[in-house]
Structure 1
Amino acid sequence: MKKPHRLVIAGDIAHRKKSLALFFCLSVVTLLILLLPAHGPDRPLSTTASPDVSSPFAGNLRPPKLAYLISSTRGEGRRVKRLLEAVYHPWNYYLLHLHLAVSPEERADLDDYIRSERVFLKFRNVRLVGNADVVTLKGPTMMSTTLHAVAILLKEVNDWSWFINLDTWDYPLMPQDDLLHIFSYLPKNLNFIEHSSNIGWKEHQRARPIIVDPGLYGFDKADVFWIKDKRSMPSSFKLFIGSSWVILSWSFLEYCILGWDNLPRTLLMYYTNFLTSNEGYFHTVICNSMDFQNSTVNHDLRFTMWDNQPRQSPLNLTLEHFSQLLESGAPFARTFTETSAVLDRIDKELLNKSKSRFCPGGWCLGSSMPGEDPCANFGKPHVIKPSAGSRRLERFLLNLLNAENFRPRQCS
């Protein structure tokens, strides 16, 4: 598996690490149909920056653009709005996917919110996916929804660098300015994806069973059902498993959608009948590809706590976990309940965010006085003002990219 490919970045990583340290010290046919972009009344995502605006970065370096997918199901409208306000930045792109189970009234409410928010109207970088998908958590429909969103982003905008998937159980631990600032100094071919070839008990409970997800073939949500026969382990590729939550590069996702060889399509067909395929598809594609297997960072950049093995359901984070959240250095964490008091503390102490307002950044020109909305007035979207969160993220990433953690943990 550890073969060099055309995008070898070992020396580049070492150079970038030194530069970072120096800089911061100084400061299946149905699935294929689902992948087609949705058309309808939705306004396309658009580029926000004009080419003649000067950059605040040395060497005229601009921050990368991030493309977010935020997924939600019935009854989560308020959580979607809160999460979007916490991660919003006019420099990025945001796709919101509401499961087909969401009521028309809840969908219309969120659509009205997007179409009436002044910042969204100005920068035109938030939209609701028009053709909602049925999502069954145990089946491949969650994976197909992600690929559907990626296909939309690849078709409509081509200047984003990384894709990040979130749902309403996620929440950021630092402003977007910090994330954009640090990612400005990373190679754009890096893929943050937790993965392992040690599938253990999942061989018999995930890989060998054959399941069918009715959500791929109709509009009514139903549980997956099992075929009586089992299948053997594949011999033409090696299976990998890991976290469903990823930060993936534009180049890798372009390969998954428009692949120049048969690997992504072969694995797409294989994972159509795989239980919880979102925990294996991207992982298996990237680690079986000679072009991308050396681009992986074995972490999903989320802080998550587990109560016991086999790590099926993460703990809901509370105020007693706040110090661990802060010390982790991760840019995101999960899972949180809607009423958890720790979210209010994150807003106040880590995001400097008031209730029902956007997380402020360098793009916000309004007053910072108590009670005032700093983002009531806004300026250039690419202006970045990092906070203390950038230093936490710096330490976190330098640890992931050091010699002991980076290469030895790739696709093994």
Structure 2
Amino acid sequence: MSGEYVPGLEGVPATRSNISFVDGKNGILEYRGIPIEQLAESSTFLETAFLLIFAHLPIKDELLAFEAEILSHRRVKYRIRDMIKSFPEGGRPMVALQACIAALGLFYPISRDMSKEEYAYNSTIRLLSKVPTMVATFHQMRLGNDPIPPRDDLGHAGNFLYMLTGREPDPRAARIFDVCLMLHAEHTVNASTFSALVTASTLADPYTVITSAAGTLSGPLHGGANEEVIRMLKDIGTIERVRPYIEERLARKERIMGVGHRVYKVKDPRAKILQNLAQELFDRFGHSRLYDIALEVERVCDELLGHRGIYPNVDFYSGLVYEKLGIPSDLFTPVFAISRVAGWLAHWHEQLTDNRIFRPSQVYTGTRQVEYTPLSLRSYA
């Protein structure tokens, strides 16, 4: 079968979905039809995860039960902790996380007396609850410390910050981080979500599905952009150097990290929310010179690139927020995974409702009908 080749499948519909909606021309992002701005204002990450995965806002009893399940499954088995202890201190955190997620499938296989619905629900709970713990455990152990056990009196976001830093976070800081998790939870069929869909279509177990997605996220063309933004702002160093830095990169046709998006032709709605969160965070807990530099980068890029529809995306301000919260820059992508596991799971659930294995075609560009040459007659050309 032949057809038109579209590099990267850009713009080619790969699935039908009612999970999230994006209008890049008007800067709209909705989860199950609810604008992201409303969720950021009024919801929580766990409620938003429930909405994404189970396709409705939970009533009070549903949400309390869901939160209680998440809380009760935060701890990880000692053999997983032992596995993490054996990882090299300088290992890449996303590789460590991918290995840990895959290992969960060894400990929680589907049993014969369990229904598919029960297994799907239990797997969802375990992944949402244990991924943050595994990220924090790896970080503590690479520092030579024992992992910090989760605290049952802290919410999802606050507990992660506590396990990561050893300090109970200010409630407002925890809330800001919770909003960050909501903003990164889902964004239609990006590379990692497509990877999850392809793996799910083979009826692989959910731990393998999320492992596949995490592996895709680890690539520098997908995850890690907010880490690069922080590096860029530090390289610039001062407000006065912003314009020459931007002009030099544009002259060399190089990207400005955190600016521009394949979908949005206006400022990413998540970037608007994150900018407000960053401002609040710095006003409340101390100023950051990097934020001043970021504002100037946005101003100069708006002047030089705005006419081309190139504006800040979600990564532009998120790294500034994470750094202020005490999250090391090489954990920015694992934190993305902590959030996006909700979206990946939502797409896994949706794929299974009307599953068909992905089997795309290709456009063959090689030679044909080539005669085999015996080994004794071969030589370098």
Length-normalised TM-score, structure 1: 0.22
Rg larger in structure = 2
Higher strand share: 1
Higher helix share: 2
Length-normalised TM-score, structure 2: 0.23
